[in-house]
């Protein structure tokens, strides 16, 4: 048995006009898919297959949680994913994907493995920006990042300023001279 054998849908052998499948994509599934974007998760996929006069309609409902690194603190976070996707399948001489929603499956074989499709639906359901809820980030990493950003903005050497945390605190207390362009902008904003 190959590791993705259980995701092989036998279309040619379908006796009824429709069929339903349930898949639980777990850590083992994501490890087997072996793509760095998602390595852990627990996602349920309901697949309904409907035979039509031209071929088959496949509808996937994907719902669950994946573990991905937070944009802000890089710690693992739980990202809920929900998606509904569908495509059509027809038999033909050889395997090919025609556009977004048509897959040609070799007629002599008559089966389609949906493992990679399901992975893609999960991956596409993850928002471009994903971060912990406010206040839930790893504080250690967060403050280290802030210090790093501050210092590199100021282009100051840390060594000559002594202890870095004191330096950041002092910096926050100092009133910075106001950029005259900011005053102009503020006038505009205040008038609105």
Which residues would be at the binding site for Zn ion (CB under 5 A)? Answer: 70, 72-73, 132, 137
Q: Which is nearer to Zn ion, 32 or 74 (CB)?
A: 74
The least CB distance from residue 157 to Zn ion, in Å, is 29
Quote the least distance from Cβ 129 to Zn ion, whole Å.
Answer: 12
Residue among 72 and 121 whose Cβ is closer to Zn ion? 72
Name the residue nearer to Zn ion (CB basis): 8 or 76. Answer: 76
Backbone angles phi, psi at 51, to 5 degrees: -80, 135
User: Considering the complex, what minimum distance in angstroms separates the CB of residue 41 from Zn ion?
Assistant: 18
In the bound complex, what is the minimum distance in angstroms from residue 72's beta carbon to Zn ion? 4
Choice between 33 and 73, CB closer to Zn ion:
73
- What string of DSSP letters covers the chain? --TTGGGEEESTT--SSEEEEEEEE-HHHHHHHT-TT--EEEEEEEEEEEE-SSSEEEEEEEEEEEEEE-TTT-SEEEEEEEEEEEEEEEEESS-EEETTTEEEEETTT-EEE-HHHHHHHHHHTS-SS--PPTT-S-HHHHHHHHHHHHHHHHT--SGGG-SHHHHHHHHHHSPPPPPHHHHHHHHHHHH-
CB of 113 or CB of 138, closer to Zn ion? 138
Angle, CA 80 vertex, CA 114 and CA 58 arms, to 5°: 25
Supply the minimum distance, in Å, between the C-beta of residue 79 and Zn ion.
11
Distance, CA of 186 to CA of 133 (rounded, Å): 31
CB nearer to Zn ion: pick between 11 and 137: 137
Least separation in angstroms between CB 71 and Zn ion: 7
């Amino acid at each position: 048995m190959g590791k993705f054998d259980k995701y092989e849908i036998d279309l040619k052998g379908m006796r009824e006009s429709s069929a339903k499948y349930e898949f639980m994509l777990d850590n083992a599934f994501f490890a087997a898919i072996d793509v760095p974007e998602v390595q852990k998760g627990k996602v349920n996929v309901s697949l309904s297959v409907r035979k039509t006069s031209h071929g088959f309609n496949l509808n996937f409902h994907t719902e669950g949680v994946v573990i991905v690194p937070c944009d802000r603190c890089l710690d693992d976070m739980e990202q809920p994913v929900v998606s509904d996707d569908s495509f059509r399948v027809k038999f033909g001489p050889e395997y090919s994907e025609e556009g977004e929603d048509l897959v040609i499956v070799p007629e002599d074989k008559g089966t389609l493995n949906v493992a990679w499709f399901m992975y893609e639906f999960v991956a596409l359901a993850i928002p471009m920006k994903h971060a912990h809820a406010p206040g839930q980030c790893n504080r250690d990493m967060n403050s280290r990042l802030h210090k790093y950003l501050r210092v590199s903005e100021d282009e100051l050497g840390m060594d000559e300023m002594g202890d870095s945390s004191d330096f950041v605190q002092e910096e926050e207390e100092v009133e910075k001279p106001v950029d005259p362009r900011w005053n102009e902008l503020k006038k505009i904003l205040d008038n609105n």
